[in-house]
Chains A and B, each alone.
Chain A
Amino acid sequence: MIRLNGIEMSYPLEQSRITVLKGVDLHIAEGESVAVIGPSGSGKTTLLLLLAGLDHPDAGSIEIQGTRLDELSADELADLRRDRMGIVFQSFHLIPSLTALGNVTLPLEIAGEPEADVKAREILHRVGLGHRETHYPMQLSGGEQQRVAIARALVHSPPLILADEPTGNLDKDTGIAISNLLFELHDNLGSTLVVVTHDESLAARCDRQLRLDSASLVEGQIRAVSA
C-alpha cells in the first residue's frame, strides 16, 4: 500500500537547516494500522504531510498503491486525496457554515457522486450522529465534531486513512470512544490506517508502532495499559 524509500526532509532555519527525516524507509501493507509516535518536533507531522502529498521530500520517493507522488501534478494530488485518502485532524476542521451532513457529503460531492446524501446519512448514523445531521459544528461538542470529522474522512471508503492526533483535543473518555470508532470503521472498511499520536493506548491498538527519533524511524512495541 505505502512504500517510502530513502526519505529525507529538512527545513531551513536562518543560516542552517533542521533535518527532521533522514534515510527513512517504510513499507505499510494494505489493511495495516500503524501508529507513529515520538517526542514533539521529531517529524511525526512531517511524515503525515508527506504521505498526504501536502509536502515534498528533499530526497527519496513515496508510493501510494503503486503511484509515485512525485510524478503527480497538484491537481492529481488533490484527486488522490479525494479518491484514496481520508484525513482526520486534531482540531477537527469542519466547515463552520455547513451542517454535519453538509460536511460529510463534501468529499462525495467533490467527486461528483450522485448519491452523496444517502451515503453521508448512512455513515453519520454509524458514528451515532444521525439525529444531529442538521446541526452546525458550533452546536456540537468536541467529541461529536470529531465523529463528524471521522465520518467525513471515511464516507468515500478511502483505502488510506491518515489521522493526526485524533484524540489530542478530547478528554480521556471521549478519546477512548473516538479511538473505538476509528478502529471499528477501519476494521469494517479494511483500510490502511496511519495515526500520529501521543496516546499510548491508541498506539497499542495498532498493528505496528513506529517511533521517530533523531530523524530516523524505528519499529517499537507498546503494550496496551489496562484501565
Chain B
Amino acid sequence: MRFLLKLAWQDLRGSGQSLWVLCACLVLGVTLVAATAGLYQQILEGLQADSRKLSGGDLQVNARARLPAEAISWMEARGQVSLLIELDTMLGTAAGNFQLVEVQSVDQHYPLYGELTLDPPLTLAEATAEVNGRFGMAVDPVLADRLDIGTGDLVSIGDLELEVRAIITAQPDRSLSANWRGSPVMISEEALGATGLVLPGSRVDYEYRVKTDQDPDAWQSALFARFPETTWEVSTFLDRSDQVGERLAQAGSALLIVAFSTLFVGGLGVYNSVQAYLHGKLGTIATLRSIGLRDRSLSIVYLLQILIMSGLSCLAGAVLGFLLSFAGAGFAATQIQVDTVHGSALLPSVLAAVFGLLCAMTFAAPAIGRALSVDPAVLFRSLDGVETGTPRVWWLATLCAAVLVVLLVLLVLPDPIFALSFVGTLFALLLLLEGIVRLIRGMALRMDGGAPTRRYFALHLALANLHRHGSALRMSLLTLGSALTLLVACTVLISTLLETIAETIPEESPDLVLYDIAPYQQQEITRILETQGAGQVDMAPLVQGRLAAINGVSPDADSSLDAQREARDEHKLTYRAGNIDGVTMVRGSWWPADTSDERAWVVMEDREADQIGLEVGDVLTFDIQGRPLEAELTGIFKQQGLQTRFWFEAIFSDGVLDPFISRYVAAGYMPAENTVAAQNEIAALAYNVVSVRTATIVATAKDLLDKAVAGLAVVSSVAFAVSLLVLTGVMASHRSRQVYYSTILHTIGARLSVIRRSLSMEYVLLALVTSVFALVLGILVALPILHFQLRLPLSFPVWPAVAAAFGVSTVCLYAGASYLMRRLHLQPASLLRGQ
C-alpha cells in the first residue's frame, strides 16, 4: 500500500495541476454549501436558544381584557407572571409626521428572560415616570432614526404628549418584524391610560408572560381544565420557535438548493476534468499494466489521486464556507435581533466537505473506470483515437455513491418538501436533457442530410459537429444550461415580484388603509379622504370572534390540546359589502344575493378552513364577545397574494354582525401624493385611528426584496462561476479535437475562413439551443413557486428571462469561440510528420 501511495503521489505531483478545474469546482461548490448551511444553522440555533427570550417567557396567555384575579393567582402559583399591555397606534412628532408604532406598557417583572438596556442607562421606571407633569418614554432605535427624534424630543400618542427620555439599545423580546410592521415604544401604564386610547372595543392586547419550570403543554392543559369557558389564547415558546423555524427552513432550503445545484454542476466539472486528466494518462496506465501492476492496484493508485485532490479541495471549501458563514451571521444579526451560535456552523461545514467528496467520487468513478479499462495492447499500436468504455462494476459504484448523495441531500435540507422537489427535479432534468439531446441530434442529422446544408460547407460542418459522437452539445446543455435555468427561474421570480411590488400592488391596492375607526368617525374619515382626492372609499366592520363549534361539536377538556387551542384562536370577521379584500371563491360560492332567507351565511379563508378541516355545508358557531352566532359555510375563498389589505378570515352575510360592531376598517383609493396629508389630517382629528400608506409598505417590501436579491445574486454568481469553469473545461477538452479535425480539413483543402465560419456557426447553434432549453425549463421551475408558494397569477414579464438566457449564453459561448479562434493555429506539417 505504501508503494501505491508513493506511486500515486509521484505521478500526481508531475501532472496534478491539470486537475485545477476539479479543484476549483469543488472549492466553490463546497464553500457555497458550507456557507449557506452554516449560516442557516447559526441563525436557527440562535433563534431556538433565544426563543424563550424572544417570546418573553415560557408561555404567554393573551386576552382582550385584564384577567380576573383568580386566574392571575392561579398562574402565579405555577410560575412568575409578567404583564405586557400592547396597542398599535399612531405616534406624532413635533414636525407633524405620523408613524405606526407598537405601544407597550410593562410591569416590574419585565423582562422574564434577558435584559432591557436603555441609552442613557436609566431604568425603565425612570425613563417612563411622570416628571413635572409629563410622562417619559423609551423608543426603538429604528423608529428614532426613521422619525429623526432623540432624547428630549416631544411626541404625541393619542391625547398625550410625552418626552423621549431614552433609546432602547437592547430589548430581548423585540419582534422580528418590528423593523417593518411597527417599532415598539415603551410607556408606563399610567401614561397608557392617559392617552385616551384604551376604550371599550379598542384593540388592546393583554399579554401575560409566564416563566415556569413545568412542561408548557402540561401547564396549558391544566389552565384549560381549570378555566374551560374562557377565550384566552395560549402559546408557548416552542410554538413561536416552530413558526419561525418553518419560515427559516423554507428560506434555508431555497438557498441550499442553489448551493447543492452548484455542487452538482461542479460534479460535471469533476467528471470532465478527471476524464481529460486520465485520458492523458492512458499510456501510463497501459504501461503499468504491461509491467505487471494488477488491476486492483491500478484502481487504487488513481482513486487515491482523485481522493487526494478532491479531499484537499473539499477541505479548503469547508474552511472558507465556515468563515463566510460568520460574516453572513454577523450581517443577519443586524437585521434580526438574534445571538447567532457560531459553533453550530462546524457540523454543516463538515457535512459540506463530506457531501463534496461524495459528489466528486460519484462523478469521477465512471471516468476512472473508463480510463482503467484501457487495453495494454494499445501500447503496441497507437493511443490516438483509443476508445474505452466504463465497466459495469464502476457504474455500480457510481450508482451507490449517487444514492448516498441523494440520501444526504434529503437529510440535510431543512424542508422535506423542498428536498424531495429538488431531487425529483434533478432526475427529471437529467431525463429531459437526454431526450432533448437526442431530439436535437436527430434534427441536426436530418437538416445536415438536406441539399441546402450540403451546399454550404460551413453550415454542414457546424451541424455535423452537433450530431456527431462526442460533440459538446450534452455537456454544454448540462453545464451552461443548468446554470442558465437557475438564472432564468430566479429572473422570472424576481421580475414578477418587482413588478407586483412596483406596479400591481400600487395599481390594485388601496393607497391608504385605516384601522380602529369608531362608528361615529366614519363620516368624517370619509370626508377627509374624499377631500384629498379619494375616488373610492371602502369601509367594513372588523369584529373578532372565535370558532366555538363545528356542526354543534365543541372541543372540550378531552379534546386534543391543538383542538382546544384552535377553539380559542380569534379570527377577523367582517361582512361582504363590496368585498373589501377582493377575495375570490375557490370552493362553494357566495350565498344568493337576493335571498330573503334570514339565516346567517359565512365564507371562510382557505388556509384557515384547511387547517381546521372545514367543508362547504358545515354549520359554524362563532363566539363573539361571549355571544354565539351560528352560520352556514357556503364557500371557501382565497386572498390575493402580496396585497395590502385586511386579511379577513371569515366574511358574513350583511347585517349578521350588526350587534357586535364597535369599529371599522377603511381602504382609500386616492392619489399617492395626497396620502401623507390625509394621514396627518386623520391623525390630528382622530388619534385612535391607525393608518398605513401602501407606499410605505411597498418601499419596505422593496427594501426587503432588494436585500434578498442581493443575497441571491451572491449565491447565484458563485453558481454561475462554477458553470463557467465547467464549460471552460468542456470547451478545452473539445478544443484539441476540433483543432485536429480542422488541421485535417485544412490539409485536404478547406479554407481557413470556411473552417472559422463553421466553428462560429456551431457556437451560435449551441448558444441558441442552450438558451431555449434554459428559458423553457427555468419558466417551468418558476411557475409552481409563483402560483403555489407566492400565490401570484401565472402571468409574468417574459422579456427579462429571455434577455438573461440569450444574453448570458451568447456572451459565454462567444468567449469560448473567441478563445478557440485565437488558438486555431493550423499546422498541417505536424500531421505529415505524425506528431
Contact = CB atoms under 8 A, between A and B. Distances in A.
Interface in B189-236: none
Contact of B380 (A48, A97, A106): A48
A164 B295 contact: no
Contacts of A49: 377, 380
Nearest to A105: B3
Interface string B15-38: 100000000000000000000000
A95 B284 contact: yes
B11 interface: yes
A111 B286 contact: no
A82 interface: yes
Nearest to A94: B287
Contacts of A74: 295
Given A49-B380, A54-B376, A87-B290, A78 B11 contact: no
A75 interface: yes
Interface string B601-617: 00000000000000000
A25 B296 CA distance: 34
Specify the main secondary structure of chain B where it touches its partner: helix
Contacts, number: 79
Given A93-B287, A97-B13, A75 B295 contact: yes
B380 A45 contact: yes
Nearest to A85: B292
Contacts of A78: 289, 292-295
A89 B292 contact: no
Interface residues of B, number: 28
A117 interface: no
A79 interface: yes
Max chain B C-beta neighbours (<10 A), residue from A82, A93, A102 = A93
B286 A93 contact: yes
Interface in A68-88: 74-75, 78-83, 85, 87
B283 A81 contact: no
Contacts of B284: 95-97
B10 interface: yes
A89 B284 CA distance: 13
A30 interface: no
B291 A110 contact: yes
Interface in B369-387: 375-377, 379-381
Contacts of B379: 89, 91, 93
A159 to B, nearest CB: 14
Interface string A34-56: 00000000000100110010110
B292 A164 contact: no
Max chain A C-beta neighbours (<10 A), residue from B297, B377, B380 = B380
A184 interface: no
A98 B288 CA distance: 12
Nearest to B284: A95
Nearest to A96: B14
B15 A106 contact: no
Given A97-B14, A98-B11, A81 B291 contact: yes
Given A45-B380, A109-B3, A83 B292 contact: yes
A166 interface: no
Which of under 10, 10 to 19, 20 to 34, or 35 or more describes the interface residues of A? Answer: 35 or more
Nearest to B293: A110
Contacts of B287: 89, 93-95
Nearest to A99: B10
Interface string B276-313: 00000001101111111111110000000000000000
A98 B377 contact: no
A107 B292 contact: yes
Contacts of A152: 291
A79 B381 CA distance: 23
A82 B287 CA distance: 12
A153 to B, nearest CB: 8
A102 B284 CA distance: 13
Nearest to B290: A87
Contacts of A136: 14
B15 to A, nearest CB: 6
A81 B296 CA distance: 16
Contacts of A85: 292
Interface in A14-42: none
B292 A54 contact: no
Max chain B C-beta neighbours (<10 A), residue from A95, A152, A164 = A95
A82 B376 CA distance: 14
A97 B227 CA distance: 83
Given A54-B375, A54-B377, A98-B11, A106 B290 contact: no
B377 to A, nearest CB: 5
A49 B377 CA distance: 7
B291 A82 contact: yes
Contacts of B376: 54
Contacts of B15: 96-97
Interface string B259-290: 00000000000000000000000011011111
Nearest to A95: B284
B621 to A, nearest CB: 81
A78 B294 CA distance: 6
A107 B375 CA distance: 19
A48 B437 CA distance: 43
Contacts of A54: 290, 375-377, 380
Interface in B397-448: none
A11 to B, nearest CB: 12
B283 A111 contact: no
Contacts of B11: 95, 97-98
A79 B290 CA distance: 10
Contacts of A45: 380-381
B3 A110 contact: yes
Contacts of B10: 97-98, 102
Contact of B288 (A79, A95, A112): A95
B291 A87 contact: yes
B143 to A, nearest CB: 68
Max chain B C-beta neighbours (<10 A), residue from A54, A80, A98, A136 = A54
A98 B283 CA distance: 13
A200 to B, nearest CB: 21
A55 B292 contact: no
A95 B379 CA distance: 13
Contacts of A79: 292, 294
Nearest to A79: B292
Nearest to B2: A109
Nearest to A107: B291
Interface in B566-607: none
Q: What 5 pairs between A and B have smallest CB-CB spacing?
A: A82-B292, A97-B14, A81-B292, A93-B287, A97-B11
16 contacts: A45-B380, A48-B380, A49-B380, A75-B294, A75-B296, A78-B292, A78-B294, A85-B292, A91-B379, A93-B287, A93-B290, A96-B15, A97-B14, A97-B15, A98-B10, A110-B293
Interface of B: 3, 7, 10-15, 283-284, 286-297, 375-377, 379-381
Interface of A: 45, 48-49, 52, 54-55, 74-75, 78-83, 85, 87, 89-91, 93-98, 102, 106-107, 109-112, 136, 152, 164
Given A79-B292, A97-B14, 14 more contacts: A45-B381, A54-B377, A75-B294, A80-B292, A81-B292, A82-B291, A93-B379, A95-B11, A96-B15, A97-B10, A97-B12, A106-B291, A110-B293, A136-B14
